[in-house]
Amino acid sequence: MMSLQKTFVMIKPDGVKRKLVGEIIGRIERKGLDIIAMKLVKMSKEAAEKLYEEHKGKSFYQDLVSYITSGPVLCMVVAGDEAVAVMRKMIGATDPKEASPGTIRGDLALSKGENVIHASDSEEKAKKEMSIFFSDSEIIAG
């Protein structure tokens, strides 16, 4: 049974700065997922606080907000069979030292604080996160 899902994926400022955009988009395409929206943005503090609402008050929160707003990020909506779990598997563990080889973070990321890519961890969060950056009309309908 196919379970078609949409998820929100974002190449973080270090990924854009290090010119890893092509490499990462290539991996998503080669996996057979569909990129159905894409936008390069310099994130506002408000958008960052909404995206990382769940981490408010944690020790790394202020550093996270300032890092994520420090330069352009590439925002995408990715669609496919079980897209939420598939993208989470592809990005790998939060700490690149623990991320498996073959994952995006395992192969490309340098530190836990600056770990190249974000992907939603549930369908509910995917809907919330997509709506921060995209209007319905900016997402290509299947």
Spatial CB neighbours of 15, under 8 Å, sequence gap ≥ 6: 21, 24, 74, 108, 116, 117
74 makes contact with ligand RTP (CB under 6 A)? no
- State in angstroms the smallest separation of the CB of 107 from ligand RTP: 15
119 makes contact with ligand RTP (CB under 6 A)? yes
Closer of 6 and 118 to ligand RTP (Cβ): 118
- State in angstroms the smallest separation of the CB of 110 from ligand RTP: 11
Active site residue 55: no
100 makes contact with ligand RTP (CB under 6 A)? no
Closer of 119 and 126 to ligand RTP (Cβ): 119
- In order, the DSSP letters of 69-120 are TSS-EEEEEEEEETHHHHHHHHH--SSTTTSPTTSHHHHH---SSS-SEEE-
60 makes contact with ligand RTP (CB under 6 A)? yes
CA distances from 119 to 1, 142 (A): 23, 20
What are the residue numbers of the active site? 118
